[in-house]
Amino acid sequence: MNKYMFTKTLGVIVGTLTLIAAIGIGVLSFISIGLSKNWNAAYGDSSTDRLASTLTLVLIVFLVGLITGIGSFLLRRKGWNLVYAGFCFLLGIGLAATFFISLGSIGTKNEVFILCIGMVYLLLGYLAVKKK
């Protein structure tokens, strides 16, 4: 059996889903910015700040998806294996902490979704360490 077969498969799936999520976040954010400008013409707000923060969020999520997807193919390098496993563990712990911080504030479905993504990233980091 090939080394890193499960890690590559899971990494590509999670990376692709993260890229799709980044595109979805971007599209929905731009629609909401456009609707808020149209419906709230009398009130002056700083939509450029919202646009900059939206672009930053979308680019960060897109970059995380690229690192997750493409990085799984570079695992045979010893240094990258350590970086990739640390990246996955850091994201997994961060998302699990976000679950506990947001408990009861954004809805049960969203919180469980965040926890599941965190657990998948922890699994991906574990598979990268175990070279499976």
Each residue's pLDDT tens digit, 55-85: 899 999 999 999 999 999 999 888 999 999 9
Greatest distance between any 2 Cα atoms in the chain: 65
Count CA within 13 A, CB hemisphere, residue 127. 19
Distance CA 20, CA 32 (A): 18
Each residue's pLDDT tens digit, 49-59: 777 888 899 99
Range of the domain at 102: 5-130
Each residue's pLDDT tens digit, 93-124: 999 999 999 888 888 888 999 999 999 999 99
Distance CA 72, CA 93 (A): 19
Task: Work out how many domains the chain is built from and give that number.
Answer: 1
Q: Can you read off the two tokens belonging to residue 108? A: 């049960």
